[in-house]
Amino acid sequence: MPWSAASLSLATFFSALVALQLYRIVSRSYRSRKLSKQWNCEPVCRYPSGILGYKVVLRAKTAAQEGQVGSTIQGVHLQYGNTLKVNLVGHDVVATCEPENIQAVLASQFSSFGLSEWRYPQYRPLLGRGIFTSDGTAWEHSRKLLRPQFTKNQIPSIEWFDSHSENLMRSLPPDGHAFDIQPLAFRLALDSATGYLFGESINSLVKPDSNQTGVAETSGSGNEGFAAAFDYAQDILFRRTLALSYYWLINPSDFRKSTRVVHKFVDYYVDKAIEYRSNIGNYKTGHEQKGEEYCFLHALAAETQDREFLRDQLVNVLLASRDDVASVLTSTFYLLARDTGAWWKLKQEITDAVDRHASNITLKEIQSLPYLRGVLYEVLRLFPPVPVNARVAHHDTTIPVGGGPDGRSPVFIPKGQMVAYSVWCLHRRRDLWGADAESFRPERWERYNPPAWEFVPFNGGPRACLGLLRTEQFAIILISQQVFRLVQHLDSIESAQPGADIGLNPPLRQTLTMCHEHGVHLRVKRMRI
């Protein structure tokens, strides 16, 4: 009898749970239909995702294995429209490449959209409570501390940039020897980032297998080197991102080991900065008296000496500073090596600039070169370093377009729904960029100034990437200057990529950022003086 009573109570309890869940589903559905009608929304095209989105998962897995995530998403948009709904591991997601929708989620409806409730736990093992994992008041606090550190008044001298250019040139193999420029681009980006952000470069272009942190950039033992550990950790974070609320299922021991390697690397600099801060007292006075180059970490340590906070912010900013820069530099030479006309036109512009200014050319003059600017913008258009991103609705809202037969009606977005947007697809839309949208043509930038939300390589709105948003700032200056110096000192380059030419859709490795799956192999010939 007691067992029967217990069974009955248990059955009643579970029946009540099921009834409550059904009530919530019906209530949510009714509310969605009511608000959708009230706000003049129309249904959006639905992608055949299968049960719990298993078809999407399988297609995404194949695309990642083939290095074709961007082109696969592009194919889906071409078939189903610029805005559609997919189911991913049981969660409805709206995918879009409409500039109006991207503007809405990033800027004009900024208060309505933010990071998902899973973002912090997904990324916490590596990025902690940094600028890229925080939302609301925590994000405002991080932004308030970080934003003043990225201004044009704190950019290093051209001599500082040139020291890294010289290390890169010395790292190139003898003329005519094939080599992969991608690992060199990552080392260059890491050297400049640690020098600018942390006040002490690890000089991995000079000595990749040892440095002062105790964590080498390169190691022969698995993920013990910083580069391998950082890259592997980002790969796992990307998989955890795709798993949405099931991120906790992806937590291999190598991931935890890799995050410890990255944190050990950054902790060396954090501890030095705290010691430096305590020794000199007022940072600004000490900085001015010594005439030192600006150091982001020392300035940040003047605001707080919370060790964990400093580490989290540094790992976040290092991710953008290293990976975005390396991605753009590598893609630049991938494209230039395939287009001799663009190479020689850029070479002539840079040669003329050197002749005009002799050895006195400035960073501002380098940035003002129109064809160089066109080359870099075209690289950012075709190979944006973060090709896919997403936001989640904080409350019931809409996005401007995508609904109805013509795709021009608003779309209802219930609270908690994710809106994923593809910058890759946006930048390759023929209706926006012309019939040659998938061609590398720097000349298009001579007369064309696209509407702001049709070209968003570094996002936009309040959460825009702090170090890369404006051309006056550090990373874009670094990219411009490094391309300038390489082209100045090289007589010619040619592609040494193995296999057949794969055009503008080479295999790409997609993690939190994008890089070339098989690298970018070149042969170069130096200028003879």
Question: Which residues are within 8 A (CB) of 507 and not within 5 positions of it... i.e. 6 or more apart?
Answer: 66, 67, 68, 516, 517, 518
Q: Angle between the 181-198 and 325-338 helix axes, to the nearest 10 degrees?
A: 150
Residue 324 region, left (φ>0) first, then alpha (ψ -120 to 50), else beta? alpha
Could you tell me the maximum CA-CA distance found in the chain, to the nearest angstrom? 100
Please write down the HEC assignment for all residues of 412-448: EECCCCEEEEEHHHHHCCHHHHCCCCCCCCHHHHHCC
Residue ranges of alpha helices (H) inside 81-225 are 99-103, 119-127, 136-146, 158-171, 181-198
Q: Burial, 37: exposed, middle or buried (Cβ in 10 Å; 0-12, 13-18, 19+)? A: exposed
Question: Which residues are within 8 A (CB) of 315 and not within 5 positions of it... i.e. 6 or more apart?
Answer: 126, 127, 128, 130, 262, 263, 266
Partnered with residue 421 across adjacent β-strands are 96, 389
> How far is 438 from 335, CA to CA, in rounded Å?
12
> How far is 495 from 525, CA to CA, in rounded Å?
12
Q: Are 209 and 218 in contact (CB under 8 A)?
A: yes
Which amino acid is present at 76?
V
243 φ/ψ angles, rounded to the nearest 5 degrees:
-75, -10
Record the tokens describing residue 231, joined without a space: 């890259």
Q: Are 202 and 211 in contact (CB under 8 A)?
A: yes
Residue with tokens 């193999």: 173
Q: CA angle, 343 as apex, 342 and 347 as ends, to 5°?
A: 115
- The alpha-carbon radius of gyration of the chain (Å, integer) is 25
Coil, strand or helix: which one is 222?
coil
Residue 267 region, left (φ>0) first, then alpha (ψ -120 to 50), else beta? alpha
> How far is 36 from 29, CA to CA, in rounded Å?
10
Residue 45 counted as an annotated binding residue: no
Of 159, 198, 203, the residue nearest 295 (C-alpha) = 198
Chain Cα centroid distance, residue 451:
21
Record the tokens describing residue 29, joined without a space: 């559905």
CB-CB neighbours of 499 under 10 Å: 7
Q: Are 269 and 213 in contact (CB under 8 A)?
A: yes
Binding site for heme, residues?
Answer: 465
**Binding-site residues from annotation:** 465
